[in-house]
Amino acid sequence: MKAITPDLEYLSTRQSAKVLNVSLGTVQKMVELGELIAWKTRGGHRRILASSLEQQLQRRQRSMRQKASTHCVLMGIFRRTENSLELANAMLDWQLKVDMEISMDSLEGLMQAVSIAPDLIYLDALIPPVEQVHLIHYLSKNSRTQRIPILVDEGFIQLHPGVLQLAGENAGVLKPAPSEKAALEAEEMIITENPLILGYPATSVDSGLSNQSPNRFAVLESVFLEGMGRKCEWSQRAMT
């Protein structure tokens, strides 16, 4: 979706299709349904009012925000079946409705994430750190998943900020470190600034929670909502 040039009062059908990131046929249908205001020139060419396009873009943004606050498709990659079941049971009490796809294997989970392109990806804290490093790297490199927020244990973030910096560079949400000194400073950061990596309390010493705590999923709904908001924001940026 591309931004509309402020000085244009109307656009062609082809220009409108580029703005909305849809086909020419879809634009024509939207005109016929009254979703876009248009008229034809003497030569038979259709012209679409720019303000009508702007209103359509705003409706899309509102729809995305509303969906982000009510419904979520989650790809969860776990090490133990009981952890996935416990999370699924915890989500039953949430206002946010979550459809969760589950994998107990990192490679299988990676392929599923690429296939379904979910709203969020959840990496269980019990996945070995080496596997989490590879997952984050490949998820941030693949065009289907690189702008999908990843929920990661805060304990992992504290130990591997450099990996998350690299993931941000892969996804284009962080600039590369300009020097070795800057890279070292990034390694010393406790929490990365990558907006598509969100930490959840699980094994973090500061959180006071552990993987055996019955309350470790209690605060996850707010983390999910934050992730959905960030996905919506970065989706809109990619379209403009």
Contact 204, 153 (CB under 8 A): yes
Question: What CATH number matches the domain at 10-62, 1.10.1200, 1.10.1660, 3.40.50, 2.40.360?
Answer: 1.10.1660
Which helix or strand (DSSP H or E) is residue 114 part of?
helix 106-116
Amino acid 85: pLDDT:
93
Query: Domain extents for the chain?
Result: 10-62, 65-239
Amino acid 168: pLDDT:
66
In tens digits, what is the pLDDT along the chain, a chain of 240 residues?
A: 444 444 568 889 888 888 887 788 888 888 888 889 998 888 888 899 988 888 887 777 666 555 555 788 999 999 999 999 999 999 998 888 899 999 999 999 999 999 999 999 999 999 998 899 889 989 988 988 988 999 999 888 777 777 766 666 766 656 665 555 454 444 444 334 567 888 888 754 444 444 455 556 767 888 898 888 888 776 666 555
Amino acid 68: pLDDT:
53
What's the whole-model pTM score?
A: 0.62
User: What does each C-alpha distance from 63 to 9, 15, 117 come to in angstroms?
Assistant: 25, 23, 19
List the one residue out of 4, 20, 9, 12 whose CA is nearest residue 44. 12
- CA distance between the termini of the chain: 5
- Per-position DSSP letters for 128-175, written without gaps between them: -HHHHHHHHHHHHHSTTTTTS-EEEEHHHHHH-HHHHHHHHHHHTSSP
105: tokens are: 């294997």
Amino acid 58: pLDDT:
76
* Tokens 């800057």 sit on residue: 182
CATH 3.40.50.2300 fits 65-239, yes or no: yes
Contact 84, 76 (CB under 8 A): yes
